[in-house]
């Protein structure tokens, strides 16, 4: 590995140091993707990318996906969504209050990665909370690991976090779609390491476990991934980029009150 990295707090993800994404070569892009898959989330500071370079970087990582429920930046940049919080906004921040893994309610061709860039950042609030599915899985007691070995989760867009999406749909004038549901194994393997895929914001049921254990395991795992020891509360600066793998990293927004914040978001397959 040639790039310099520093682990995040509680060993959640890694900072990639001393890199300018504007002049990224193919080899460095490959290495970033490797670090991303291995650590789950990468933090790349001081980038100041124009929309063109930002969208180009997303294409170096994979195939960007159009996300219709958020406002697009410009017709020229169909993959960049604007997440804007205004000082007068009173509703819950998009993606707040529940740890989740983006679009877990879709079947197998769902986007795997999510990327945010800080455009306008208020000081002292609006952290993004990350939790490592790798670390959380590793610390599970063996009897729980045994119980969930073949378990699947039922994930629904109408799960607890739906309230923040419904508010976006109202803003966009989109008629609320039927809820979407998908089933996935809750233990996944990425680069040879097991990770928890339990998206508490969407998880409605655990299957393929003993019937009498299902509810208990659901509550247990949700509490488990929320434990302080697996969390990194990331404080943003303008021009920071966070890029995460939804298979191994859970995240949520935190509340923002009485100030403006703008982020540019791209989801990637």
- Least distance in Å: CB of 250 to Fe ion? 9
Contacts with 256 (C-beta within 8 Å, 6 or more apart), sequence order: 85, 89, 93, 122, 125, 126
Please report which residue ranges of the chain form alpha helices under DSSP H. Answer: 26-39, 51-61, 133-138, 142-147, 162-172, 214-225
User: Please, which residue, 168 or 205, has the CB nearer to Fe ion?
Assistant: 168
User: Please, which residue, 202 or 218, has the CB nearer to Fe ion?
Assistant: 202
Out of 13, 64, 95, 126, the residue judged to bind Fe ion by CB under 5 A: 95
**Which region among 74-82, 98-106, 121-129, 189-197 touches Fe ion (by CB under 5 A)?**
98-106
Any idea what the Cα angle at residue 224 is, between residues 222 and 230, rounded to 5°? Answer: 120
Tell the burial category of 72 from Cβ atoms under 10 Å away from its Cβ (0-12, 13-18, 19+): middle
- Least distance in Å: CB of 164 to Fe ion? 9
By CB under 5 A, tell whether 102 contacts Fe ion. Answer: yes
User: Please, which residue, 95 or 126, has the CB nearer to Fe ion?
Assistant: 95
- Least distance in Å: CB of 123 to Fe ion? 23
User: Please, which residue, 47 or 114, has the CB nearer to Fe ion?
Assistant: 114
**Which region among 61-69, 71-79, 101-109, 153-161 touches Fe ion (by CB under 5 A)?**
101-109
DSSP designation for 21 = G
Phi-psi region of 124 (alpha: psi -120 to 50; beta: other; left: phi over 0): left
CB 256 within 8 A of CB 95: no
User: Please, which residue, 31 or 111, has the CB nearer to Fe ion?
Assistant: 111
- Least distance in Å: CB of 19 to Fe ion? 25
Chain contacts with Fe ion (rule: CB under 5 A): 95, 102
């Amino acid at each position: 590995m040639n790039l310099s990295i520093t682990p995040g707090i509680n060993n959640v993800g890694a900072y990639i140091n001393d890199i300018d994404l504007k002049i990224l070569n193919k080899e460095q892009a490959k290495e970033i993707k490797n670090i991303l898959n291995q650590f789950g989330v990468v933090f790349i500071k001081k980038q100041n990318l124009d929309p063109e370079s930002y969208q180009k970087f997303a294409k170096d990582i994979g195939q960007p996906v159009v996300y219709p429920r958020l406002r697009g930046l410009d017709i020229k940049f169909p993959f960049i969504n604007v997440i804007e919080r205004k000082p007068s906004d009173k509703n819950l921040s998009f993606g707040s209050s529940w740890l989740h893994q983006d679009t877990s309610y879709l079947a197998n061709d769902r986007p795997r990665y999510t990327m945010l860039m800080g455009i306008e950042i208020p000081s002292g609030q609006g952290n993004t909370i990350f939790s490592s599915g790798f670390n959380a899985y590793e610390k599970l007691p063996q009897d729980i690991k045994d119980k969930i070995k073949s378990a699947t989760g039922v994930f629904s867009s109408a799960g607890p976090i739906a309230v923040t999406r419904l508010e976006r749909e109202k803003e966009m004038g989109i008629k609320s779609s039927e809820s979407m549901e998908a089933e996935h194994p809750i233990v996944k393997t990425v680069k040879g390491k097991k990770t928890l895929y339990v998206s508490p914001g969407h998880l409605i049921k655990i299957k393929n476990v003993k019937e009498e254990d299902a509810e208990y395991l659901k509550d247990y795992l949700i509490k488990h991934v929320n434990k302080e020891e697996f969390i990194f509360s990331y404080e943003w600066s303008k021009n920071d980029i966070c890029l995460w793998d939804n298979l191994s990293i859970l995240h949520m927004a935190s509340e923002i009150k009485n100030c403006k914040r703008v982020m540019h978001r791209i989801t990637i397959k």
